[in-house]
Structure 1
Amino acid sequence: MMGFIRPAFFRLAQQSLGSLERRLRVWVPGLAILLLEGCSSISYYGQLAEGQLQLLHAREPVAAVVADPNRDPALREHLRQSQLARAFATEHLHLPDNQSYRLYADIGRPYVVWNVFATPEFSLSPINHCFPIAGCVAYRGYYNLGAARGEAALQHLSGMDVYVGGVEAYSTLGWFNDPIINTMLHWGDERMATLIFHELAHQRFYVAGDTEFNESYATFVEQEGTRQWRAAQGLPPANAEQGQRADQFTELVLATRERLQTLYALPLPAAEMRQRKAAEFERLRSDYRTLSASQWQGAHPYDRWIYSPLNNANLLPFGLYDQYQPAFAALFKEVGGDWVQFFKAVETLGALPAEERKAALKKLMEP
């Protein structure tokens, strides 16, 4: 739907960062462009509608691109491979069988949308925005980078911590046939497959207003689907080292979040709070240097992010979008790896009231 990052995609070392991005991905959930009753900003919703229409008009059948000898050979082969994954998604993972990701759109920019996250200066609670169908989310999406930066500047002037993250793809939750976009082509055939599995999972099931549930569920479908996809092609399991580095880095960031959460609860003057906040971000950078030197053989895959200006808003996607992934893994195991039964169980969970749903997910994660 929307991605940690995954948002929130960082152009660091591409292969090393792929696993982290699946944790940072922040997908635009639906956007609900056709149901805009109660809008507070006509200009904002206008750019959403314009951006979605541009995307729809740019679509063309993948089969036509692949069959056209005048198109770029690398593009044609990439798209051909994507259709193998698309067929696998329906035939083996029981994901929706429609025209989504059987179309292609080149929109001529590196990201399809940019998300603007904002928090108060001394809080990790996001400024939420609510939409019909999609529910409430912790960002605002913009199809134009300049508009996103303008919104970020306004939030900053009002005293907020702000972060702008680019997004490769999103799901309209079945309202439209979502295309493969040129923004999705940078990470290789397997990365394309994971995106297709993730986005179709959102089409398969979605709970309005529960980002943690939706993204944890779709991330599990993506990762288990990718594991099965690799096995079906006779490939070895994915590189565990990359995933381990991403997990370790995420743990560093989550530890920083916890310390900041404790700090912000203290009755301190603003000047002292600001100083101690800055010290926590410097501690995060120091811990990162220690980790990379001691366990990563000197590799520094996340330098661009860690040494960019950091604030509360940068931390928002971490831990939110795969928080309950172990619960869905346990659920999949309970049903014996049967995808049909798994989706039925997910729907049962999704129908529960919010607090009961969270309690059920936490119970699934118990040893």
Structure 2
Amino acid sequence: MLKRVGLALAVLIVIFVAWQFELVSYGMMQLRGQLRVVNQSVPLEEFLADTSTTQAQKEKVQVIMEAKQFAFDELGINYSENYSTIFDQEGKPSMFVVTACDPYSFRPRTWKFPFIGRFPYKGFFVREKAVEEFNRVKEEEGLDVGLRTAGGWSTLGWFKDPVLSNMLNRSEGDLASLIIHELTHGTLFVKDSVTFNENLASFIGDRGAIMFLEDKYGKGSQEVTDYIASNEDQVMFRTYLLGASQRLDSLYKGMTDLEVDEKQVLKDQMIEQIKVDFKNVPFKSARYLSYFDDFTPNNTFFMSLLRYNSQQDVLEAQLDGEFGGDLLAYLEYLKKRYPSL
């Protein structure tokens, strides 16, 4: 009987692998990449004790440890051992992300994964594989496609997520925001709700970073003031491009009966106008002034902005209106309301 059960199970596995060969192959490739990152990571204490670690790196590691503890104690982030180790990227990106979107609407292309649902992006540890997927989707499906690197990611508890060494190049506030962002994913991640998940993590990360700096240096301190000021250009950048996304969305909705060539002309004209008008945004620093000089965005660019930032005003209104700005109470409410993976 046991032999028959074992044989039947083996047959089922073979059938499944044959039926879902591409998915199984991708999963194994990602597993190898993730295990390499995890296995080659070292405890933060070991990294701090290493004589080759610079004083600046040690200070950033201390920021990570402090931001984690603050998130656990003050923000309602669930305790985990994430970001207690570090992986040396040797200055190179570790994850490459492919996104895709309908060329004449903001309807993202999604990839389905077992258990965790659908995602509007697909990650790769090997750049060549990401480029292959980029080209395949572009040529076979005729979609707008994007390829970017990831500054960090969360495995939602499947692995102990390490600090990536490139993170240490960020400012104190940006680093705290990123760590809190990723820890938020590990605390609350709603299946098939990526836009909500990313907006929430961005919101908690941004608000949490300011609270962290206020707790560390005091409200109204130079460190807090400088961090808020450094984000003003980023806020203007997001605000302008979210408005541009709305202009494009209105254009797409109004040209459903047009031929493809006509749609493309109208789309190209509006994106060029968006680039021209961008020059008039009153940025305080030179960071964004030449942003589109050698880059013409497609729908994946605007979809990414919407995915991470389109619900910020809604979240802020709910936090301030219903919870009096109490981020801990707000996150506890959300954890009870939504089932998390």
Q: TM-score range by the shorter chain?
A: 0.7 to 0.9
CA contact (8 A) 1:81 1:189 kept: yes
Offset, 1:73 = 3.5
CA contact (8 A) 2:244 2:274 kept: yes
2:283 to 293, 296, 301: 296
Code of the residue aligned with 2:319 in structure 1: it is F
Q: In structure 1, how many angstroms separate the alpha carbons of the residues matched to 2:297 and 2:160?
A: 37
Q: In structure 1, how many angstroms separate the alpha carbons of the residues matched to 2:327 and 2:279?
A: 42
2:23 to 41, 45, 55: 41
Change (3 A) 1:305 1:46: farther
- Structure 2 counterpart of 1:99: 81
Q: In structure 2, how many angstroms separate the alpha carbons of the residues matched to 1:81 and 1:180?
A: 12
Offset, 1:180 = 0.6
Q: In structure 2, how many angstroms separate the alpha carbons of the residues matched to 1:351 and 1:82?
A: 28
Matched, 1:325 2:312: yes
Secondary structure of 2:319's counterpart equals helix
CA contact (8 A) 1:55 1:105 kept: yes
Identity of aligned residues (%): 24
- Structure 1 counterpart of 2:297: 310
After superposition, give the CA deviation of every residue in 1:67-95 in whole Å (9 maximum; x if it has no partner): 23343443233213321222222222232
CA contact (8 A) 2:75 2:327 kept: yes
- Structure 2 counterpart of 1:260: 248
- Structure 2 counterpart of 1:155: 137
2:154 to 156, 171, 174: 171
Matched, 1:200 2:187: no
Q: In structure 2, how many angstroms separate the alpha carbons of the residues matched to 1:240 and 1:339?
A: 18
Secondary structure of 2:206's counterpart equals helix
Secondary structure of 2:82's counterpart equals coil
Offset, 1:119 = 2.0
Change (3 A) 1:209 1:66: same
CA contact (8 A) 1:105 1:181 kept: yes
Change (3 A) 1:255 1:330: closer
- Structure 2 counterpart of 1:142: 124
Offset, 1:213 = 1.7
- Pairwise CA RMSD of aligned residues? 2.6
**1:335-354 equivalence runs, <5 A:** 335-351=323-339
Change (3 A) 1:87 1:282: same
Secondary structure of 1:174's counterpart equals coil
Matched, 1:276 2:294: no
Q: In structure 2, how many angstroms separate the alpha carbons of the residues matched to 1:186 and 1:337?
A: 31
After superposition, give the CA deviation of every residue in 1:104-144 in whole Å (9 maximum; x if it has no partner): 11133532311111123323211111223432111111112
TM-score by length of 2: 0.82
- Structure 1 counterpart of 2:14: none
Q: In structure 2, how many angstroms separate the alpha carbons of the residues matched to 1:233 and 1:49?
A: 38
CA contact (8 A) 1:39 1:45 kept: no
Q: In structure 1, how many angstroms separate the alpha carbons of the residues matched to 2:92 and 2:168?
A: 10
Q: In structure 1, how many angstroms separate the alpha carbons of the residues matched to 2:101 and 2:315?
A: 29
Code of the residue aligned with 1:212 in structure 2: it is T
After superposition, give the CA deviation of every residue in 1:274-319 in whole Å (9 maximum; x if it has no partner): 211111111011101122xxx2368451523463132222221112
Matched, 1:127 2:115: no
Q: In structure 2, how many angstroms separate the alpha carbons of the residues matched to 1:239 and 1:340?
A: 22
Offset, 1:340 = 4.7
TM-score by length of 1: 0.77
Code of the residue aligned with 1:147 in structure 2: it is K
Q: In structure 2, how many angstroms separate the alpha carbons of the residues matched to 1:343 and 1:300?
A: 33
Q: In structure 1, how many angstroms separate the alpha carbons of the residues matched to 2:119 and 2:277?
A: 31
CA contact (8 A) 1:227 1:237 kept: no
CA contact (8 A) 1:256 1:280 kept: no
Q: In structure 2, how many angstroms separate the alpha carbons of the residues matched to 1:254 and 1:241?
A: 20
Secondary structure of 2:109's counterpart equals coil
Secondary structure of 1:118's counterpart equals strand
CA contact (8 A) 1:128 1:137 kept: yes
Code of the residue aligned with 2:90 in structure 1: it is G
Matched, 1:217 2:205: no
Change (3 A) 1:80 1:261: closer
After superposition, give the CA deviation of every residue in 1:19-45 in whole Å (9 maximum; x if it has no partner): xxxxxxxxxxxxxxxxx9966433322
- Structure 2 counterpart of 1:26: none
Structure 1's unaligned 5+ residue stretches are 1-35, 353-367
Code of the residue aligned with 1:245 in structure 2: it is D
Change (3 A) 1:61 1:239: closer
Higher helix share: 2
2:47 to 59, 62, 65: 65
Code of the residue aligned with 1:317 in structure 2: it is S
Code of the residue aligned with 1:230 in structure 2: it is L
Secondary structure of 2:86's counterpart equals strand
Structure 2's unaligned 5+ residue stretches are 1-16
Q: In structure 2, how many angstroms separate the alpha carbons of the residues matched to 1:38 and 1:139?
A: 19
Code of the residue aligned with 2:296 in structure 1: it is P
Q: In structure 2, how many angstroms separate the alpha carbons of the residues matched to 1:92 and 1:59?
A: 28
